Homo-oligomer: A and B are copies of this chain.
């Protein structure tokens, strides 16, 4: 086993050890956080989990005809104002 390989193995042990430690701590921290929040806060309307907003492909439905009209209007508005 040469120099590089022993460095690589060391790096893997330290790295994966650390990644797991860190994320395990995070699991517990998150669980505790959620528990504390739900205990000490007044009940509030919860938000159902959604996908990453930025890439979601299923937004609130709107009547397609209206949507089309609005899209055109936006395009028109934009082209007027961008000049």
Binding site for B on A (CB under 8 A): 53-57, 59-60, 62-63, 66-67, 69-77, 79-80, 82-83
> Are A67 and B59 in contact, CB atoms less than 8 angstroms apart?
no
> What's the minimum C-beta distance from A60 to chain B, rounded to whole angstroms?
5
Q: A79 touches which one: B53, B63, B73, B74 (CB < 8 A)? A: B53
- What are 10 contact pairs spanning A and B, CB under 8 A? A54-B79, A55-B83, A57-B79, A59-B79, A60-B72, A62-B76, A63-B69, A66-B73, A70-B70, A71-B77
> Are A69 and B62 in contact, CB atoms less than 8 angstroms apart?
yes
Could you tell me the distance between the alpha carbons of A76 and B68 in the complex, rounded to whole angstroms? Answer: 11
> What's the minimum C-beta distance from A22 to chain B, rounded to whole angstroms?
31
